[in-house]
Chains A and B, each alone.
Chain A
C-alpha cells in the first residue's frame, strides 16, 4: 500500500509511534472491524476506528437515533434524530475520514445473520446493551474462532475483556444471561454518559492493538472500573474447563436465539 502525501499527514501521529509506524498503519488501513451496536459504546469505538483509518468498518444496529441517546451517543447529533443509527454514524464517519469504507446493516444481530456477517471481519466489538445478544456475540465468535472485545457499562461502572481463540471467553466468566427480572440495563438504571466514552475508547484501542500486533491484549483478564472512585482493576481470568461453550464438554453446540429485551423506558415513548 502506498500512502498519498495527504495520508502520510493524516496518520502522521500513528506513523511516528515506534510500535505502529508505516507498517502498522498499513495494517490498520487493511483492517476490517465489525461494531455491533452504534450506541454509547459503539459511538466512541466507531469515531476512533474511523479516525485511525481502519479500512472497512461494519456497523450493525436496528435502532433509530432518539433524543435520549444524545447524552452519551456522541457519533449522532440533534439533526440526525429519527435517522437509522447506522446511517447517522456513517455520515459522521465519512466526514471524519473519507478513506474508510463503512458497511451498514440496519438490522438486529441474530442467530440467522451472525456467522454470515462476522466472517467478513478480522475483529468484532460488542457494543450492545442486551445480555442475550452479548452471549450470542460471544458464542458466534468462539465458534467461528473470531477475536472480539466484550464491553459492558452500568451506572458508574464499566468492564471489558478481549477474546482470542483459546483464551477465556465471556461465558467462562458468566455461564449464561441472568434472569431477565434481575437485569437492569442502561435505560432502566441509568449511566453516566462519559463512562461510555471511557470504555468504548478502551475497546477501540484493543482493536487497533490487535490490528497492529502491538502490546498485550486484555486476554485472560477482565478490566473493571468505577468512575466514582476512579479505581481500575484487572482481574486475572483462567479459561474455565466447565465453560458451556469453550470448555471440555461444551453444552452449547449451536447458536441459540437471543430474546431481545425491550427497554422499559423505550416502551413508553
Chain B
C-alpha cells in the first residue's frame, strides 16, 4: 500500500490554452511528484491527450486521478497498467565526433539501437532514437564516452495494448 511506484497517467483533455498550466499547477500545488508530461492532439477534434509519469503510493495515485478529474477541462483520466501499455519516447542526441573512427562507431551504435542520423556536421552528429525510456538511457550512456553536446527528450507517451481504449 505504501509502496512508491512509477505510474503512467493518460488524460484526455480539452485542447485549449491554459489546460497544461492547470494540470501542472495541480501537481505542484498538491505536492504530487511529476517526472514528465507530454501533450499532443488526440484522435478526437478539439481534444488532446496528456501522458504524465508520476511516482507515489496508491493513496497518492488515487488523489492524483481524482484531483485531475476535478479539472473541468479534463475529460477522462486513466492510470495505465505498465504491463498492458506500450510506452515510447523520442530523443535527439547531438554528439561530438572527435575522429573518423568515433564517427563510424557512433553510426554503428545508432544502427544497433535502431536510431537514425538526422543531421551531420564536420564535428558533430545528431541522432534520433525512439523507444522505451530505458533503451534511450542505455544509448545515452554509451554515447557519453564520445562527448554529448546536447540531448532533447520528449518524455514518454503511452497507449494501452490491444483493442481497448480509455
* A and B found bound together: no
Chain B interface residues toward A at CB < 8 A: none
